[in-house]
Each structure stands twice: as structure tokens, then as C-alpha cells.
């Protein structure tokens, strides 16, 4: 199956802010809405913003491993990450700068767009992040 386009929905969860944190992501087929993969990544003791970035990076890694040439549309309920990755907001915090740099290195010249969505529309990615926290380990289900 060749995938020309993919949707990545990403989120972060932090139990305490900062606290135990994890990022989560799902990769969706934009035509059917079918979940093609999901992943959660533990972030240790971190802020929710760090977890949001880590979820996005994990989702991008999974999507690119599935379809390296695909156009990717990232949807998140983190206005901060969406605006920073879109280049509209400056990134002042050193940890966020490092995470944004890592994400940009992943996407390089690929076609990746970012969209803010309301929290209610990001429940699958939220569940993936919380699953990593509940399991106490990072995971990928492809």
C-alpha cells in the first residue's frame, strides 16, 4: 500500500506540570480516518509542553517510517507547538528550541503542515500519551 498523505495527531500528558510525562500520537489514513499506527513515548519528569513536542516527534517518526515520501498533516491541541513549528511564534525556552530543532531535522524538505484543533478532537492522541503513562513504558503499535 502506497500512502501519499498521512495525518498525525499528537498530544502530550503530564501528571503534574512538570511531572510524570508522555507524548502520544496516532497516524491516520486521511481518506478513511482509519488508525494505521499509534505510539506513546515516556518523557520522564517533564512539562506538558515537552510532552507535546515529544508526541509530535514520535508521530512524525512513525509516519515517516511508514511512508517516507508522504505529505504529512499534523493536528494538535497545543497552540504553542503548532505556532512554533509553523514559524509564527518565537521559541525562547532552550528545551523547546532543542525539540523544535529535532522535529525540523526529521521533516527537512518534506511537505509537513500543522493545524491546531480543539482538545475534544484530539482524544486518540491523548489516549496514546496516557497509555504510555499507564503502562510505564514507551510503545509503538504499527
Residue pLDDT, tens place only, 52-85: 999 999 999 999 999 999 999 999 999 999 999 9
Closest by Cα among 12, 25, 24, 16 to 45: 16
- What span, in angstroms and rounded, lies between the C-alpha atoms of 8 and 71? 11
**Total number of domains in the chain:** 1
Q: Quick check: bond before 18 cis, omega within 30?
A: yes
Spatial separation of the C-alpha atoms in residues 78 and 92, rounded to whole Å: 16
Whole-model pTM: value is 0.96
CATH of the domain at 68: 3.30.420.10
Query: Band of the pLDDT at 2, cuts 50, 70, 90?
Result: low
The residue range of the domain holding 20 is: 5-141
Amino acid at each position: 500500500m502506497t500512502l501519499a498523505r498521512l495525518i498525525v495527531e499528537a498530544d502530550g500528558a503530564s501528571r503534574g506540570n512538570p511531572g510524570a510525562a508522555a507524548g502520544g500520537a496516532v497516524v491516520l489514513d486521511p481518506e478513511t480516518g482509519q488508525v494505521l499506527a499509534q505510539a506513546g513515548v515516556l518523557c520522564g519528569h517533564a512539562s506538558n509542553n515537552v510532552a507535546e513536542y515529544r508526541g509530535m516527534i514520535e508521530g512524525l517518526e512513525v509516519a515517516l517510517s511508514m511512508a517516507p515520501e508522504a505529505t504529512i498533516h499534523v493536528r494538535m491541541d497545543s497552540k504553542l507547538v503548532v505556532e512554533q513549528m509553523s514559524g509564527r511564534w518565537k521559541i525562547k525556552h532552550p528545551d523547546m528550541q532543542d525539540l523544535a530543532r529535532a522535529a525540523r531535522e526529521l521533516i527537512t524538505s518534506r511537505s509537513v503542515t500543522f493545524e491546531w484543533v480543539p482538545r475534544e478532537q484530539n482524544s486518540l492522541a491523548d489516549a496514546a500519551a496516557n497509555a504510555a503513562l499507564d503502562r510505564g513504558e514507551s510503545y509503538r503499535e504499527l
